Amino acid sequence: MAPYPPLGDGGYMHIDILTVLPELLESPFQHSIMKRAQEKGLLSVQVHQLRKWAVNEYGMVDDYQFGGGAGMLMMCEPLAKAIDELSQQRKFDEIIFLTPDGELFNQKTANSLSLKENLLLICGHYKGIDERIREHFVTKEISIGDYVLSGGELPAAILVDAIGRLLPGVLNDETSALFDSFQDNLLAPPVYTRPEDFRGWKVPAVLMGGNHKLIEEWRHEQSVKRTKERRPDLLDE
């Protein structure tokens, strides 16, 4: 593995991902903002096929559960060997397991993780992973919602996107991310672009007046109003 660049003024993040289905993660990081982040040298994402550390020549990484029960379970040995090997290359700030029973992912968590340098994401599959890996290696468990997916690959892609776009220098307008929904526990205000009048539906006059103080006040008022209407639970926090 090639050495990664040193931290610069804009920061740098490296993310390793362990999965049995790396094909699912080929597209998300090869387009749009995530592609540009990597081309700028601000983000590096490396996806690893867990079967590289399989227990036999057949690529075995899962087995039946002790005590019985439906579904296969990802084994200790492949995961432990993979984590040990990758940990020799860099010190991870967090080793994250994507799981439905983890902490619910939100913007606050994305903000916090964007300040880290090295992350390792473990994509669960089948019935999950052996509990001993969770107890002895995993430092953080994250869920993207109260539902079950076939594996942790899609949640991993969501995490990388939500975190990567916050890295300084990734977005063309560095203030853009600060005004996204959920920053400061408020939803984003309504936004408009040309034409000013479309089918008789007009852009609010305050946005056309050029008074930036009034515009910011209007946007804040609209954010609070929208949050009260759609996500009042955010205001309770």
The pTM (predicted TM-score) of the whole model is 0.87
Does any domain span residue 66?
Answer: yes
pLDDT (tens digit, 9 = 90+) per residue, 36-52?
999 999 999 999 999 99
Domain of residue 127, CATH code: 3.40.1280.10
Q: Are residues 117 and 217 in the same domain?
A: no
Q: Are residues 190 and 117 in the same domain?
A: no
Range of the domain at 197: 181-236
Task: Check: CB of residue 132 under 8 Å from CB of residue 76.
Answer: yes
* Number of domains, the chain: 2
pLDDT (tens digit, 9 = 90+) per residue, 50-72?
999 999 999 999 999 999 999 99
Percent of the chain with pLDDT over 90: 86
Does any domain span residue 174?
Answer: no
Q: Are residues 213 and 155 in the same domain?
A: no
- DSSP bridge partners of 48: 18
